[in-house]
Amino acid sequence: MQIIKTIQWKDDKVIMIDQRRLPLQEIYNAYEDYKGVADAIKHMVIRGAPAIGVAAAMGVALGSLGIGVKTFDEFYKRILRICETLEATRPTAVNLAWATNRMKAVCLLHKDLPIEQLKQRLKEEAMQIQREDIDSCKKIGGFGHVFLENGDSVLTHCNAGSLATAGAGTALGVLYAASAEGKVLTVYADETRPLLQGARLTAWELQKHGMNVTVITDNMAGALMKDGLIKKVIVGADRIAANGDIANKIGTYTVAVLASRHKIPFYVAAPTSTIDLTKKNGSEIPIEERDSKEVTHVLQHQITPDYVNIRNPSFDVTPAELVTAIITEKGVAEPPFEKNLKILAG
Amino acid sequence: MQIIKTIQWKDDKVIMIDQRRLPLQEIYNAYEDYKGVADAIKHMVIRGAPAIGVAAAMGVALGSLGIGVKTFDEFYKRILRICETLEATRPTAVNLAWATNRMKAVCLLHKDLPIEQLKQRLKEEAMQIQREDIDSCKKIGGFGHVFLENGDSVLTHCNAGSLATAGAGTALGVLYAASAEGKVLTVYADETRPLLQGARLTAWELQKHGMNVTVITDNMAGALMKDGLIKKVIVGADRIAANGDIANKIGTYTVAVLASRHKIPFYVAAPTSTIDLTKKNGSEIPIEERDSKEVTHVLQHQITPDYVNIRNPSFDVTPAELVTAIITEKGVAEPPFEKNLKILAG
């Protein structure tokens, strides 16, 4: 029951729903070369750590089809260049490099195959990554829904749903799984400025799934928690450091601080591909600063005076101490994360 | 040196800068009757607790000019109806009722005057309230600027500036006073969804005053505090309860929680007319819930899917325990607020 088709491979094209145009328009873009895919990731036609991992893998596969060389060495050099382009699109999510590394490994493992067969193998690997992501969402939902009770009201930030993955989603995957178990939930979605993924995407896909969703501006969550209206928080992650620090959409840290003050459990749902054991803690995770126009404008309409200074960090880091549990496709990590994440990701 | 003319009385008209159109258009509306003034308050042509107090007083004076009766009793009955209309426009700011109560008191005090002279007296009282507000801002700046040091970076939320008062502003008045003392400040302005008073108004007026201002989305303040980029927080207030609980623009509570976590001083600047000793604590302050379209749309453009649920509380309550000091025109209240506010407001 895949209600939303975020990314698909079809007739050697990559098809993505254009998330910049949601919720008012439902348009699907077709990409025939890897540069188009890289551009789509950079400009957030597709976003969400797991989804851009799948997109990068498909981008490599698509790019390989256009390589007209005869030797493996030449082929691999071109693959590396394609990977570099795709990896450079977004710095924070680790799933991009995780996916391109898998594609590189496939090349090296099958270096003796004829080039045309190797291209076929890359395509299969991209499909495999997509299938794994669908499966991973299902398992995250399975492990996660036990944390939610019938009647719970749950806050989520940004979009960690079907639109952020190839499957049912991570954080929202948990909500869908709880709902499938018959638990009735009330969901609050932070609108998530600057790009409004909560107001535009989370609200849209929760409605498509028949869930009860209420959109609030990012600055309302604290007041709602104080009034006892929020019982649980669940979010996704773009990168998880070895100590359990979480890089996720800007504003996540604020939600975690508020949840901690109100003694509300704060759950993170993400596939193990999001865990980066090479980063000791969150301070080592690169934080993308995006174009100031995302803040000065909303839907292309200017809201600030001309020439005003802007900050636009796209992510922030939530320290592990504020996280109740990390829900992955391999099981749930609870503190101490240092030890337990290593077991899951190892 | 009044750079911005938020509200003026001119030729028996009330002139207001239309704050809904800022910063892209600088348009002044002229109101010839009290219903227009009430409408302007309700639809936020003018906003900010002290400014709407002045507007309400001018509205009563304007309304009195249109009353064509001969006896005091008939006149006063009409005045009460005008006050009722003005008081009903916004429920949270106490300054509205504070101003209309002063106008009523003037009537009762001068009930023996001929009606035409009484109208004159009401006009003078409205001018007096405006002058007092200008003076009050100056004094708040004088008491407040000592809390800021040269080189400080200060976060503010919503707009508590010239545009929120008849004078230099409350929270921003403190910044202007510090700047006039030669202290160089960096100001961060929360954009303040839904109506973007920070991005539109605070940025605009700080620029007009030659201040260094950076606009951020509401969900970025936490990350900036974590990075050590914010040294002080200063905000205004719409109503202050007897125990020091502060009702202010939605999101203020979240900023206070974040400031507390990062051990950043959190200052509130407001005239004593904002203190409501009849409210024991913040839970007794009515919180206005505004039209959901303010959340579903930005500058008339829809951002959410159709039919989505919305919450739109316009204010929240910051508990006194999170407030470092309350700066008024009569001096600074520090904890215990219960005792010290009573002294100031008494």
Domains in chain A (CATH in brackets) are 7-138 (1.20.120.420), 143-345 (3.40.50.10470)
d(CA B57, CA B9): 11
In the annotation, is A238 catalytic?
yes
Nearest CA distance, A291 vs chain B (angstrom): 13
**Residue A52: pLDDT above 70?**
yes
**H or E, element range at B215:** strand B212-216
Question: Which of A262, A253, A272 lies closest to A329, judged by CA?
Answer: A272
As a whole number, mean pLDDT of residues B281-310 equals 96
Is there a contact between A304 and B200 if contact means CB atoms under 8 Å apart? yes
d(CA B331, CA A11): 74
* Structure confidence at residue A1 (pLDDT): 52
Test mutation, A213, A262, A303, chain B, max B CBs within 10 A: A303
Q: Is A1 near chain B, with CB under 8 Å?
A: no
Number of CB atoms found within 10 A of residue A73's CB: 10
- Listed by number, the residues of chain A in 7-26 with a beta carbon closer than 8 Å to a beta carbon of chain B are 23-24
Query: Which stretches of chain B are DSSP H helices?
Result: 34-42, 49-65, 72-87, 95-109, 115-144, 171-180, 197, 203-208, 221-226, 252-261, 293-296, 337-345
As a whole number, mean pLDDT of residues B144-173 equals 98
Q: Is A263 near chain B, with CB under 8 Å?
A: no
Catalytic amino acids of B?
238
As a whole number, mean pLDDT of residues B18-46 equals 97
* Structure confidence at residue A124 (pLDDT): 98
Question: How do B315-318 and B246-249 pair as beta strands?
Answer: antiparallel
> How confident is residue B1, by pLDDT bands cut at 50, 70 and 90?
low
* Structure confidence at residue B91 (pLDDT): 87
Average pLDDT, chain B: 97
* Structure confidence at residue A93 (pLDDT): 83
In this complex, the residue of A24, A192, A305 whose CB is nearest that of residue B204 is: A305
Number of CB atoms found within 10 A of residue B66's CB: 13
As a whole number, mean pLDDT of residues B316-322 equals 98
**Residue B132: pLDDT above 80?**
yes
For the four alpha carbons of B131, B136, B139 and B140, in that order, the dihedral sign comes to negative
Is there a contact between B226 and A253 if contact means CB atoms under 8 Å apart? yes
- Determine which one of A190, A218, A238, A316 is catalytic: A238
**Residue B10: pLDDT above 60?**
yes
Is there a contact between A298 and B296 if contact means CB atoms under 8 Å apart? no
Contact A236, A224 (CB under 8 A): no
Residue labelled with tokens 């008045």: B173
| Long-range Cβ pairs for the range B37-42 (8 Å, 24+) | B37/B62, B37/B86, B38/B85, B38/B86, B38/B88, B38/B89, B40/B16, B41/B86, B41/B89, B41/B90, B41/B96, B42/B89, B42/B90
pLDDT tens-digit readout, A94-140 = 999 999 999 999 999 999 999 999 999 999 999 999 999 999 999 99
For the four alpha carbons of B153, B154, B158 and B159, in that order, the dihedral sign comes to negative
As a whole number, mean pLDDT of residues A221-236 equals 98
**Residue B346: pLDDT above 80?**
no
**Residue A46: pLDDT above 90?**
yes
Is there a contact between B303 and A200 if contact means CB atoms under 8 Å apart? yes
pLDDT tens-digit readout, A22-31 = 999 999 999 9
Q: Which of A163-167, A342-346, B112-116, B248-252 has the lowest mean pLDDT?
A: A342-346
Q: Structure pTM?
A: 0.96
pLDDT tens-digit readout, B192-236 = 999 999 999 999 999 999 999 999 999 999 999 999 999 999 999
d(CA B156, CA B191): 10
State percent of chain A over pLDDT 70: 100
- Listed by number, the residues of chain B in 303-322 with a beta carbon closer than 8 Å to a beta carbon of chain A are 303-305, 307-311, 313, 316-317
As a whole number, mean pLDDT of residues B144-160 equals 98
State both tokens at A5: 């088709």
